[in-house]
Structure 1
Amino acid sequence: MPDHCAACGQDFKIEPGFYIGALWTSFPIVIFIMTLLSILFLGYFKMEMNWFFVALTVILFLLQPIIIRLGRSIWIHVFIGFDEHAEIK
């Protein structure tokens, strides 16, 4: 993750431990993905439970970098406002 925003210069390292709260924003994303995959794999494809857990684990493991970045983005947007008319530094 960059240290500063390229557009406005906002420091992304606000304080030590700031992004621990991003766990609370990434958790609902994981639950949403797990629910969709459960409906798809168990309901539509009628997958066996053992293979379902393997597939779910692999997919969530591969999506983890995206989920973490999205959770951090949501978390910082809760505390830092966005001004689309800000001057580029």
Structure 2
Amino acid sequence: MFKKGSKINSIVFGLCPKCQSESMYVKRNPYFGKLFKMHRQCSVCGTKYKMEPSFFYGAMYVSYALGVALSIAVFLISKMVFKHELLQSFFAIIGALVLLMPILNRLSRNIWINMFISFDAKASGPQSD
């Protein structure tokens, strides 16, 4: 499922979409350090992550979709499993969105860049299975 060369591998782990050999982010953990601090380019294949100014503005749409999906999931779990009232469900949604915001933002950036750059086995060097 997370084999090198699959989009899901690059999206979940935040790896370079072209070679999948290096993290795109300076700090791998989004909770510690700067959330959006990325390397300028991949040191293995040379892919530039910011292809044009404001490239990652499009990731806001992906982030919105992920946030809506998370909100619906939290609401359904809150109402059906825990039998919470509407106000309690609302607070559960807000809490989940605030706690998972760094992960959602990075995930949306990873999805966005993977929509434009595909894996290239030649750029990654020898494959390891």
Q: Same fold (TM over 0.5)?
A: yes
| Counterpart in the other structure of 2:58 | 21
What do the CA deviations read for 1:28-61 (whole angstroms, capped 9, x no partner)? 2112211111110011111122222112111111
Unaligned runs of 5+ in 2: 1-37
Q: Which runs of 5+ in 1 are unaligned?
A: none
Q: CA RMSD in A?
A: 1.7
Where in structure 2 are the equivalents of 1:6-85 lying within 5 Å? 6-85=43-122
Q: Secondary structure at the match of 2:76?
A: helix
Distance in 2, matches of 1:32 and 1:41, equals 14
- Relative contact order higher in (CA < 8 Å, ≥ 6 apart): 1
TM-score (norm 2): 0.61
Percent identical pairs in the alignment equals: 36
Q: Which amino acid aligns with 1:49?
A: L
Higher percent of residues as helix: 1
Q: 1:6 to 1:58 in 2, by over 3 A?
A: farther
Equivalent position SS for 1:79:
coil
More displaced stretch, 4-13 vs 25-34:
4-13
